[in-house]
């Protein structure tokens, strides 16, 4: 009987130890929040030069720099970040499933998306524009896109915006990535690529494309980039605080100059953090 009591007590102690270990080993809580754990998973674009790009040397772009700064303020070093590709059509589902802690991937804040996820920011104000071939002088205004083959990415709002508001006769072509649109533009399979001017400037500035494309210069919409988090996550407030500090200490402007300067992109001033507008 005595042996049985000792065994039962030992089992209880062991169970408590296992429970404590399990509670302390997770990097995320039930809300998808993180802070100071071993790893943080961040969604970015892999194919947007100047914004988010995966290269043989690593990851680069404005969103990468912003996300890295935010992660540091949350308690993570650069080598504790796991980068995950977040395609436009997948972003909401990735956050819902908890595949990522947050997403910084040229993620425009819209009323529809705010029903599904929460946004910190905005941290950049971009404008929708078009990229066309340098020798194409037939597109001088948004109305000239009527009857043209207009490309954007599945899950993006860009092409639909143009079609609905400015060029109802444009022929929409939806590709899986902007890189695919760019190839189509180069091969004359499409006439124009539309998305945010910040993204287009990054493509136009690539060394292998210099002189081949040009921006239309149309400020067709306001696109406020936000950092997406799971609905109800306490990360929203923490990320807003980090973004405020990034603007205040000059790191935001340095990231802008570093990533957009070579393309001579004239960015807007940093928007007011926490003023989430669509």
pLDDT in tens, 34-75: 445 589 999 999 988 889 999 999 999 999 999 999 999 999
Give all strands of the β-sheet with 52-55 in edge-to-edge order.
47-48, 52-55, 58-60
Mean pLDDT of 5-26: 39
Contacts of 132 (CB under 8 A, 6+ apart): 139, 185, 191, 192, 193, 213, 214, 216
d(CA 278, CA 266): 21
CATH code 3.40.190.10 region(s) in the chain? 40-125+224-263, 126-215
The pLDDT of residue 23 is above 60? no
Q: Is the dihedral of CA 250, 251, 254, 256 positive or negative?
A: negative
Q: What is the CATH number of domain 40-125+224-263?
A: 3.40.190.10
pLDDT in tens, 134-164: 999 999 999 999 999 999 887 777 777 787 8
Q: Is 44 helix (H, G, I), strand (E, B) or coil?
A: strand
pTM of this prediction? 0.75
Residue 277 structure tokens: 């507008």
Q: What is the CATH number of domain 126-215?
A: 3.40.190.10
pLDDT in tens, 108-140: 999 999 999 999 999 999 998 999 999 999 999
Q: Is 150 helix (H, G, I), strand (E, B) or coil?
A: strand
Q: What pLDDT, on a 0 to 100 scale, did the predictor assign at position 5?
A: 40
Weakest mean pLDDT among 12-16, 56-60, 100-104, 223-227: 12-16
């Amino acid at each position: 009987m005595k042996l049985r009591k000792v065994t039962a007590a030992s089992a209880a102690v062991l169970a408590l130890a296992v429970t404590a270990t399990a509670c302390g080993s997770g990097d995320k809580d039930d809300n998808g929040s993180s802070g100071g754990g071993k790893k943080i998973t961040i969604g970015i674009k892999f194919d947007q030069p100047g914004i988010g790009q995966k290269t043989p040397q690593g990851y680069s772009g404005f969103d990468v720099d912003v996300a890295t700064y935010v992660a540091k303020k949350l308690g993570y070093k650069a080598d504790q970040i796991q980068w995950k590709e977040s395609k436009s059509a997948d972003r909401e589902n990735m956050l819902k499933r908890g595949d990522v802690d947050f997403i910084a991937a040229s993620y425009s804040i819209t009323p529809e998306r705010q029903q599904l996820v929460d946004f910190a920011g905005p941290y950049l104000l971009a404008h929708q524009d078009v990229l066309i071939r340098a020798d194409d002088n037939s597109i001088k205004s948004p109305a000239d896109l009527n009857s043209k083959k207009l490309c954007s990415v599945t899950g993006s709002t860009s092409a639909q915006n143009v079609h609905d508001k400015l060029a109802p006769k444009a022929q929409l072509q939806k590709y899986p990535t902007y890189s695919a649109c760019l190839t189509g533009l180069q091969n004359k399979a499409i006439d124009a690529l539309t998305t945010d001017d910040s993204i287009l400037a990054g493509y136009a500035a690539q060394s292998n494309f210099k002189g081949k494309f040009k921006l239309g210069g149309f400020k067709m919409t306001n696109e406020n980039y936000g950092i997406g988090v799971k609905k109800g996550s306490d990360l929203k407030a923490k990320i807003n605080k980090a973004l405020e500090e990034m603007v205040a200490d000059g790191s935001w402007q340095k990231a802008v100059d570093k990533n957009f300067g070579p393309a001579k992109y004239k960015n807007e001033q940093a928007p007011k953090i926490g003023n989430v507008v669509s």
